Structure 1
Amino acid sequence: MGWRWVEAALPLGIIAGMLCIAGNVQYVIHTKAHGRPKHIGNDMWDVAMERRDKNLLSSSSSS
């Protein structure tokens, strides 16, 4: 009677472990592809500022 929770805990542990592995794999792939971790909550403003910063850095290095 007291061991019934083990029947549910084992599959839930496997599911939680697989979700953690999937998240870490996505993080590693994105970091390898882009050279930095993914910025969470990137909106249009953040994209425009990154583009502006990239243009500023490239124009200052060419001068």
Structure 2
Amino acid sequence: MQVDKWILCPLCGGKTRVKLREDTILENFPLYCPKCKQEMLIRANKLNISVITEPDAKTQSR
């Protein structure tokens, strides 16, 4: 039997519109939260979710 769960927003804890199965692997996935209206990159493997914090190209100074 497959286990699946909703992805919760790492910032506000609200439920997003994305559901993960236990065999899903995501790399650099843009997750949008409709509650706090934020978008972040996540990585998911075996229902473990981590936020990718890389410098944004717009915020880098020259």
TM tier relative to shorter chain:
under 0.3
Q: TM-score, normalised by structure 2?
A: 0.24
Q: Tell which has more relative contact order, 1 or 2 (C-alpha 8 A, sep 6+).
A: 2
Higher relative strand content = 2
Structure with the largest fraction of helix: 1
TM-score (norm 1): 0.24
Higher radius of gyration, 1 or 2? 1
